[in-house]
Amino acid sequence: MLAVEAGRELRWLGQFLVPGLFDGEHSFRLEELPSGRTRLTQAERFHGMLVGISGGALEKTRLGFEQMNRALKQRAEAAVA
């Protein structure tokens, strides 16, 4: 874990086999907005020697994150409706 701040941030680093080969730093951040709303920012930064040849897999990962974010938004909005 790189950061844990209750109600604000969760961030960690994942590594494939050995550091520097294919690393991903993933984070979730929550930001309070006016009117009791909350913004979720999810990010993943990849680095390492294999990143350049991982294009298709990274695109699938991005699409999966977007799908998860939409589903989370629907659940959160339904919970307060």
pLDDT digits (tens, 9 = 90+) for 8-51: 999 999 999 999 999 999 999 999 999 888 999 999 999 999 99
Q: Can you give the pTM of this predicted structure?
A: 0.81
User: Residue 22 CB: number of other CB atoms within 10 A?
Assistant: 19
Return the HEC string of the chain.
CCEEECCCEEEEEEECCCCCCCEEEEEEEEEECHHHCEEEEEEEEEECCCHHHCHHHHHHHHHHHHHHHHHHHHHHHHHHC
pLDDT digits (tens, 9 = 90+) for 54-74: 878 999 999 999 999 999 999
Provide the residue ranges of all domains of the chain, joining segments of one domain with +.
3-80
